[in-house]
């Protein structure tokens, strides 16, 4: 197998915590009288918590002080974390565990590259933390995707050149970040939305071992 580094986004790629984010943001939006739909939630994929709040405020044409924003950000995170208490390996998306195991068995370096500030506890709760050699999350970066910072840090920590790194992403911003970093971008989800990716798969169950070997 060709020696590559494999970098995974978290939300929508490894686990589906997007629904929990949506419910927590919707609660904030409802308090402010802002209509916030699942379609609007697509705008928040791969985006930092601070920017997500700004997008919601823009949707409602609302302005807020920094103090108010800090209060809502804290509330959103507390609501989100309260929903993760009962999280376990059932939250891992189909095919993900098999791909992680295959990569690990073939001694391929694996990293997490996510905007989430709760990545480590989520990986612990789902029982897959040990598969990752490196974790780069929202606590380690200053720039949100499509800035490639999170992926470049991960590749550097794995001691791999960007062109030898493979990125699994479900957001447009994440795919753009991987492409800007000159990495191999693999979209997980809808081909029409993730058309900028080099490869797109509906989910991990349709990614073959042969495909991974030939990357």
Tokens (6 digits) for 28: 């904030």
Question: At residue 2, does pLDDT exceed 90?
Answer: no
Q: Enumerate the domain spans of the chain.
A: 5-15+88-214, 18-83
Q: What pLDDT is recorded for position 46?
A: 72
pLDDT band at 16 (very low <50, low <70, confident <90, very high): confident
Contact 177, 147 (CB under 8 A): yes
- In whole numbers, what is the pLDDT of the chain averaged over residues? 94
Residues 177, 178, 181: CA angle, nearest 5 degrees: 85
169-195 residue pLDDT tens:
999 999 999 999 999 999 999 999 999
Q: Is 118's pLDDT higher than 80? A: yes
* Topology given in CATH for the domain delimited by 18-83: DNA polymerase; domain 1 (1.10.150)
Active site amino acids: 9, 11
pTM of the predicted protein model: 0.85
Please check the confidence at residue 18 and state whether its pLDDT lies above 80: no
Tens of pLDDT, residue by residue over 45-89, are 878 889 999 999 999 999 999 999 999 999 999 999 898 888 999
Tell whether the model's pLDDT for residue 104 goes beyond 90: yes
Question: HEC states along the chain?
Answer: CCCCEEEECCECCCECCHHHHHHHHHHHHHHCCCCCCHHHHHHHCCCCHHHHHHHHHHHCCCCCCHHHHHHHHHHHHHHHHHHCCCCCHHHECCCHHHHHHHHHHCCCCEEEECCCCCHHHHHHHCCCHHHCCEEECCCCCCCCCCCCHHHHHHHHHCCCCHHHEEEEECCHHHHHHHHHCCCEEEEECCCCCCCCCCEEECCHHHCCHHHHHHC
Q: Which two tokens stand for residue 49?
A: 């918590």
Task: Please compute, for residue 111, the number of CA atoms within 13 A of its CA located in the half-sphere on the CB side.
Answer: 25
Residue 29 scores a pLDDT above 80: yes
- The architecture that CATH gives domain 5-15+88-214 is 3-Layer(aba) Sandwich (3.40)
| Residue 26 predicted with pLDDT over 80 | yes
Indicate whether 19 pLDDT > 90: no
Q: What CA–CA distance (Å, rounded) separates 207 from 201?
A: 7
Q: What angle do CA 144, 134, 146 make, to 5 degrees?
A: 20
- For residue 97, pLDDT over 90 is answered with yes
| For range 29-53, the mean pLDDT | 91
């Amino acid at each position: 197998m060709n020696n590559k580094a494999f970098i995974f986004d978290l939300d929508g790629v490894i686990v589906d915590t997007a629904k929990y984010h949506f419910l927590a943001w919707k609660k904030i939006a409802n308090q402010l009288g802002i209509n916030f739909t699942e379609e609007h939630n697509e705008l928040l994929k791969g985006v930092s918590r601070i920017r997500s709040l700004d997008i919601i405020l823009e949707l409602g044409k609302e302005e807020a002080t920094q103090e108010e924003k800090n209060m809502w950000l804290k509330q959103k995170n507390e609501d989100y974390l309260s929903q993760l208490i009962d999280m376990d390996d059932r939250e891992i998306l189909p095919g993900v565990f098999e791909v992680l195991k295959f990569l690990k068995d073939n001694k391929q370096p694996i990293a997490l590259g996510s905007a989430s500030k709760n990545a480590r506890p989520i990986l612990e709760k789902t029982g897959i933390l040990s598969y990752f050699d490196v974790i780069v999350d929202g606590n380690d970066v200053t720039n949100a995707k499509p800035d490639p910072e999170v992926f470049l840090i991960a590749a550097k920590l794995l001691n791999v050149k960007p062109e030898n790194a493979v990125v699994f992403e479900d957001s447009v911003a994440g795919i753009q970040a991987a492409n800007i970093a000159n990495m191999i971008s693999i979209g997980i989800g809808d081909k029409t939305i993730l058309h900028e990716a080099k490869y797109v798969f509906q989910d991990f169950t349709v990614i073959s071992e042969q495909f991974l070997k030939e990357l």
